[in-house]
């Protein structure tokens, strides 16, 4: 079953085509990756599916569980169970960790806070005292964000560059929590230009210059990383990162 279907999605900005006739099916219950070089349009696609302002004026359609969500607000999409974790932390600066983790949870059981923190390898005794602010490292902050998603149990979550600005130890826990999301029945879409993150997924989509170049099993997409460029006709500088 497809939880999400993108149909002929084209997004233009300032006379530039940012997303060019994208067609994607996201199977429920799997971990998917959207990969591609910097500037390919990966975050733009995630932002468009989430319905962020500036990304709402597109042609084509977005079906979620079979119905169009094109005209729904971000909040309405979130209420249907769609969540986006931004590359840069964005939500609720200064909130106590407890409140942060339970913010999106209906049934606010406090033992869920401990469970969620332990899942991302953070000691509840230490971290429940803290606030979500600049005193946390990038890795701690990301792990607490992902603990909040774990507690929320959304149906679909986008993680935009989940390893960005995060220490190696935290990356290990981030990869663990991705497996937990899948166990809980959450469909995951990893937005990434990292080979290591791609390895965490079952299935992927390769974007270059706003176009979908190929889709399929993860192994199929490794060609892009080994060749340092997408196998496409795009005339431009190969991504040498």
Ligand X SMILES: Nc1ncnc2c1ncn2[C@@H]1O[C@H](COP(=O)(O)OP(=O)(O)O)[C@@H](O)[C@H]1O
Give the interface segment with ligand X, choosing from 34-42, 57-65, 181-189, 225-233 (CB under 6 A).
Answer: 34-42
Question: Could you say whether residue 124 binds ligand X (CB under 6 A)?
Answer: no
Q: How far apart are CA 209 and CA 71, in angstroms?
A: 26
Give the interface segment with ligand X, choosing from 33-41, 95-103, 133-141, 220-228 (CB under 6 A).
Answer: 33-41
Q: How far apart are CA 181 and CA 199, in angstroms?
A: 16
Q: Are 154 and 83 in contact (CB under 8 A)?
A: yes
Name the residue nearer to ligand X (CB basis): 13 or 108: 13
Q: What are phi and psi of 45, to 5 degrees?
A: -65, -45
CB of 214 to ligand X, least distance (A): 16
54 interface partner picked from ligand X, Mg ion, none, CB below 5 to 8 A per type: ligand X
Question: Could you say whether residue 43 binds Mg ion (CB under 5 A)?
Answer: yes
Per-position x/- string for 45-84, each x denoting binding to ligand X as judged by CB under 6 A, each - no binding: ---------x------------------------------
Give the interface segment with Mg ion, choosing from 34-42, 60-68, 149-157, 231-239 (CB under 5 A).
Answer: 34-42
Give the interface segment with Mg ion, choosing from 42-50, 57-65, 112-120, 172-180 (CB under 5 A).
Answer: 42-50
What does each C-alpha distance from 161 to 88, 92, 114 come to in angstroms? 9, 20, 26
Name the residue nearer to ligand X (CB basis): 44 or 83: 44
* Helix (H) or strand (E) run with residue 159 in it: strand 156-160
What does each C-alpha distance from 55 to 51, 52, 147, 155, 240 come to in angstroms? 6, 6, 28, 22, 28
The alpha carbon of residue 65 and the mean position of all alpha carbons in its chain are separated, in whole angstroms, by 18
CB atoms within 10 A of CB 28: 14
CB of 209 to ligand X, least distance (A): 9
Question: Could you say whether residue 42 binds ligand X (CB under 6 A)?
Answer: yes
Which of 6, 24, 35, 40 binds ligand X (CB under 6 A)? It is 40
Question: Could you say whether residue 83 binds Mg ion (CB under 5 A)?
Answer: no
Give the interface segment with ligand X, choosing from 36-44, 148-156, 180-188, 221-229 (CB under 6 A).
Answer: 36-44
What CA dihedral angle connects 147, 48, 91 and 182, to 10 degrees? 0
* Helix (H) or strand (E) run with residue 5 in it: strand 2-13
CB of 241 to Mg ion, least distance (A): 13
CB of 53 to ligand X, least distance (A): 9
How many residues contact ligand X, by CB under 6 A?
11
Q: Are 27 and 205 in contact (CB under 8 A)?
A: no
- Which residues lie across from 68 on neighbouring strands? 63
Contact residues toward Mg ion (CB under 5 A) are: 42-43
């Amino acid at each position: 079953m497809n939880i999400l279907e993108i149909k002929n999605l084209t997004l233009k900005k300032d006379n530039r085509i940012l997303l060019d006739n994208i067609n994607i099916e996201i199977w429920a219950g799997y971990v998917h990756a959207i990969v591609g070089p910097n500037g390919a349009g990966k975050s733009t696609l995630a932002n468009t599916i989430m319905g962020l302002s500036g990304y709402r004026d597109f042609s084509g359609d977005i079906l979620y569980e079979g119905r169009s969500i094109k005209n729904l607000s971000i909040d309405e999409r979130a209420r249907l169970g769609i969540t986006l974790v931004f590359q840069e932390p964005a939500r609720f600066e200064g909130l106590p960790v407890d409140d942060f983790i339970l913010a999106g949870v209906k049934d606010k059981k406090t033992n869920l806070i401990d469970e969620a923190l332990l899942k991302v390898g953070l000691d509840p005794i230490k971290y429940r005292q803290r606030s979500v602010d600049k005193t946390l490292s990038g890795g701690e902050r990301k792990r607490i964000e992902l603990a909040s998603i774990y507690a929320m149990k959304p149906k679909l979550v986008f993680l935009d560059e989940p390893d960005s600005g995060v220490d190696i130890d935290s990356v290990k826990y981030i990869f663990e929590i991705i497996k937990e999301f899948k166990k809980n029945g959450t469909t995951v879409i990893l937005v990434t230009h990292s080979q290591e993150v791609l390895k965490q997924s079952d299935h992927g989509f390769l974007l270059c210059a706003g176009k979908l170049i190929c889709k399929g099993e993860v192994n199929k997409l490794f060609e892009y990383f080994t060749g340092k460029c997408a196998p496409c006709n795009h005339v431009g500088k190969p991504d040498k990162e």
